[in-house]
Amino acid sequence: MTNWAFVIGINEYQRLRSLEFAVPDAEAVSDFLRDEAGFERVFYFSDNSPNEIAPDGSPQSTQPTYANLLSFLLEFFEKPYLEAGDNFWFFFSGHGIRYQERDYLMPCDANHKAVEATAISISYVTERLRRCGADNVVLFLDACRNQGDKAGVGIGLQKHQGVITISSCSPREKAYELEEIGQGSFTYALLESLRIQGESNCATVERLYQRLRYRVPEINNYYNKPVQTPYAIVEPASKYHLILLPQQATLIDIAILREDALEAELEGDLELAEQLWTRILGLSPADPKALKALKRVWLKGLSEITHEKAQKDVKSDKHAVADQKAQKDVKFDKDAVAEYVNSRTIKPLRKSTVLWVDDRPNNNIYERQSLEALGINFVLAQSTEEAFYKLNRQDFDLIISDMGRPPDPRAGYTLLDQLRSCRDETPFIIYASSRHPKHIAESLRHGAIGCTNWPSELFEMVLSVLVGKNG
């Protein structure tokens, strides 16, 4: 289980009232996540933070301007770096605003008279963060400050599917900075709560939220500040049981997650069930029930996909042959899952990215869905030229290609030969209309792993390569 975070703190605003303790709050959160919570990576933007290194290797300024924040969200979240079961936290300390039914975060150069042009919507932030690959995205928004305060309705009203949002105050309230302690009351209570040890800890979203709901008003009352009540939106509701700090999770916490996973599976929500069982396995790697459940969920997904394909083929006048072939394919798929998918191979499969080259990608949609059910990521190309363009921009663990693509009837070999001439040894599978022995032999001579037109055989070859390469 991997934990990353993006932390932003802004005191100095060019066109808005500057704040006093937003940067110290953000710095305290950044230090806690890195030094105490053990987060592997924390991106930190503030008035005086050092540069980050962009994906292309160049230094990127972390001054929280509109351009810098937008560039970071665009470039760092263009492809998934994390996977199911991982966490990504986002903390913002500064000004926020609600404008035309949407929530916005205000960079240091934002203009309240041109919100859409100079502020960043939280919808856009969540859309980019979810690209990181983690299935648990948590937002902490300390963004309606009174130190100053910010006029208008507070942010945090919008729902973001699959995202946990905890705002520092309820709508129409303001968040307060406390000169006596040199922090905002929300961030002070947040860090205090996250540091609690033992059975009363705040390791889950539900316990953290409950404590913040009474602790923040208590702090404000002590320092003679108006009421401020944190406000959460959690989608779906089962994420209230999400374990934020795995090292503090109790057996009861894991048992509740197990109940949620079983309920999701019974209701047919296989995607949510997979996420929850994956998280349980991350918390308890030796849990045989979690591994067994993951296999069960994957097999249900494969069966649904194969049944859908068989039904489509039946409508295309391939009745008996299609049904028999679908049953054979799902049997082979189940055998492959049983052979290759275990506690050692789950993470390698989820770290894999495959380039699939075919001028008619819809012909292979069911095969891709079957493999995607195991967490494998796909990038599509519809021509040899497009394939080379994507190969020059990204590394892949495997390439799957059809054979003929107009105007080249041997485009699969054309691509493969050019790769091998460049000493690119990326594993290569031909998935075309034939698996005749002479065609298999020819594919091997060109440097491919093999060629097939059977989905089940493709499935086994792909799993064999990816588990061996990333295991």
Strands 102-105 and 120-121: antiparallel
Topology alike, domains 3-249 and 344-471? yes
pLDDT of residue 291: 77
Please give the sequence-ordered ranges of beta strands (E in DSSP) within 243-390, or none if there are none.
353-357, 377-381
Q: Which of 466, 464, 418, 461 is nearest to 440 (CA)?
A: 461
Is residue 145 classed exposed, middle or buried when 0-12, 13-18 and 19+ CB atoms within 10 A define those classes? buried
Contact present, 140 and 166 (Cβ < 8 Å): yes
Assign 417 a pLDDT band (cuts: 50, 70, 90): very high
Cβ partners under 8 Å of residue 246, min gap 6: 1, 203, 282, 283
- Whether 372 has a pLDDT exceeding 90, the answer reads no
pLDDT of residue 29: 97
Q: Which of 229, 242, 103 is nearest to 164 (CA)?
A: 242
CA 460, chain centre distance (Å): 27
pLDDT of residue 117: 94
pLDDT of residue 147: 41
For 244, the token pair is: 């934020």
pLDDT of residue 82: 82
* Range with top average pLDDT, 25-29, 172-176, 344-348: 25-29
Type of residue found at 335 = D
Domain boundaries, the chain: 3-249, 266-339, 344-471
Please give the sequence-ordered ranges of beta strands (E in DSSP) within 220-262, or none if there are none.
231-234
In this structure, what are the phi and psi dihedrals at residue 332, rounded to the nearest 5 degrees? -60, -40
Gap between the Cα atoms of 101 and 15, Å rounded? 22
Stretch 232-245: mean pLDDT: 86
3-249: what CATH class?
alpha beta
Residue labelled with tokens 């100079």: 118
For the domain with range 344-471, which CATH number is right: 3.30.1490.20, 3.40.50.2300, 3.40.50.300, 2.40.50.100? 3.40.50.2300
Please provide the distance, in angstroms rounded to a whole number, between the alpha carbons at the two ends of the chain. 16
Poorest-confidence range of 51-60, 145-154, 159-168?
A: 145-154
> pLDDT per residue over 150-193, tens digit each?
333 455 555 555 689 999 998 888 899 999 999 999 999 999 99
Whether the predicted model's global pTM rises above the 0.85 cut: no
Contact present, 147 and 20 (Cβ < 8 Å): yes
